[in-house]
């Protein structure tokens, strides 16, 4: 007889059949009671179909559960459907990829700042991250500032970091530390640690060529800072 019990179906039958046999035996089958005997009979029949992988009832109703074992897994498709849809990301996907850096996300920046003993909470850490990068962005001309934030994750966009500021500041690195110290009520030495910690992640997110172009647009004291991180 042709098999019509698939692997998953067989596994279920192999579990249910012996269970019914045991239940029927314990609840009257051993004493010849009708309900117990019927339960044992059903358990025996189900167990047999699990062993032989053929089921008369399946054949009677035209059921063949072996077919489910041969069906290939469905390929995921995009919400838009169509052959090309799964291979062509939309504009939002491209933008997210462009701004994702080298696998970095905003939480990594925040966690790095939160790990410093003088940053007390997450809200302060988020503000510190934006300040460190925002002051650097304001020190750059527009093309270099855009290049800086192009690979950083949201919400580290140029608009969020610099607002509508158009002028390039002439801030020195020492004044940079002083500005951070003043904003977050920390020492200049702590401000330097904060800047180096966050700029190290910025450097990881940028490719080498992009970092060099940014360095070339900065004065020597800023270049020395970035090379040091």
Task: Indicate whether 212 belongs to any domain.
Answer: yes
10 Å CB burial of residue 110 (0-12, 13-18, 19+) is buried
Residues 21 and 122 in one domain: no
Task: Indicate whether 105 belongs to any domain.
Answer: yes
Residues 41 and 141 in one domain: no
Closest C-alpha to 136, from 78, 202, 81, 90 = 202
Residues 110 and 57 in one domain: no
Closest C-alpha to 190, from 115, 116, 111, 109 = 116
Contact by Cβ (8 Å): 61, 112: no
Low-confidence ranges of the chain (pLDDT < 50): 72-102, 164-166
Residue 42: C-alpha distances to residues 17, 18, 34 (Å): 7, 10, 12
Task: Indicate whether 109 belongs to any domain.
Answer: yes
Give the tens place of pLDDT for each residue, 175-184: 989 989 998 9
Tokens (6 digits) for 62: 């035209």
What pLDDT score does 69 carry?
Answer: 60
Task: Indicate whether 84 belongs to any domain.
Answer: no
Residue 143's CATH number: 1.10.490.110
Give the tens place of pLDDT for each residue, 42-94: 888 898 888 988 888 877 777 888 776 655 444 444 444 444 433 433 334 33
Range of the domain at 28: 7-68
Q: Number of folded domains in the chain?
A: 2
What pLDDT score does 1 carry?
Answer: 65
Task: Indicate whether 85 belongs to any domain.
Answer: no
Residues 202 and 123 in one domain: yes
């Amino acid at each position: 007889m042709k098999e019509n019990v698939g692997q998953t179906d067989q596994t279920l039958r192999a579990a249910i059949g012996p269970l019914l046999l045991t239940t029927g035996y314990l609840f009257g089958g051993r004493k010849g009671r009708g309900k117990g005997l019927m339960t044992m009979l059903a358990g025996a029949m189900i167990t047999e179909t699990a062993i032989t992988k053929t089921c008369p009832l399946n054949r009677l109703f035209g059921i063949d559960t072996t077919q489910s074992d041969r069906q290939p897994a469905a390929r995921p498709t995009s919400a838009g459907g169509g052959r090309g849809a799964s291979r062509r990301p939309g504009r939002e996907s491209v933008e997210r990829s462009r701004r994702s850096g080298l696998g970095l996300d905003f939480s990594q920046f925040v966690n790095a700042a939160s790990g410093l003993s003088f940053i007390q909470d997450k809200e302060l850490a988020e503000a510190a991250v934006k300040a460190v990068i925002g002051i650097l962005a304001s020190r750059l001309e527009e093309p270099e500032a855009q290049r800086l934030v192009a690979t950083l994750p949201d919400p580290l966009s140029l608009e969020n970091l610099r607002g509508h500021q158009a002028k390039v500041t002439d801030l020195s690195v020492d004044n940079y530390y002083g500005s951070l110290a003043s904003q977050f009520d920390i020492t200049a030495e702590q401000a330097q640690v904060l800047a180096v910690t966050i700029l190290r992640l910025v450097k990881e997110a940028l490719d080498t060529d992009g970092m060099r172009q940014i360095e070339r647009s900065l004065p020597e004291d800023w270049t020395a800072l970035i090379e040091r991180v």
